[in-house]
Structure 1
Amino acid sequence: MSYSFQDALAGLAALVGDRHLIASGPDQDPYVVDWRGRYHGRAVAVVKPGGLMNPGKSFGAGAP
């Protein structure tokens, strides 16, 4: 069975909800730019837990 990147993002969105998944764009800036604006990183997606049980589910989703 082969999974695509889009399948992985869809799976994460199903776990934590669309509100808690930032896949791209300027909404990621608070998570990838330091407070002085000097250092900029890149992220494929930012996953924020939607509740107390979501962090474990999110990490588990990355395991084969």
Structure 2
Amino acid sequence: MLDRAYEQIEVEVVTLEGEFGPALIEELSTKWNVPKNFMFIGSPDDRFPYQLSELGGVRLII
């Protein structure tokens, strides 16, 4: 669907195994050269072990 709506934008889905947290966000930001405030995450539940402020500025999708 996104390919048809935004033909000029290439969307790639990447799956990774590991623990999601500040260290992984930092690693991916550096590896992919994407500022953390250009990254998005889904809304975490009450069991998420980190405060949003610890994630370096990622944006929250509610």
Q: Normalised by the size of structure 2, how large is the TM-score?
A: 0.28
Q: Which has the higher helix share?
A: 1
Q: Normalised by the size of structure 1, how large is the TM-score?
A: 0.27
Higher normalized contact order (CA 8 Å, seq sep 6+, divided by chain length): 1
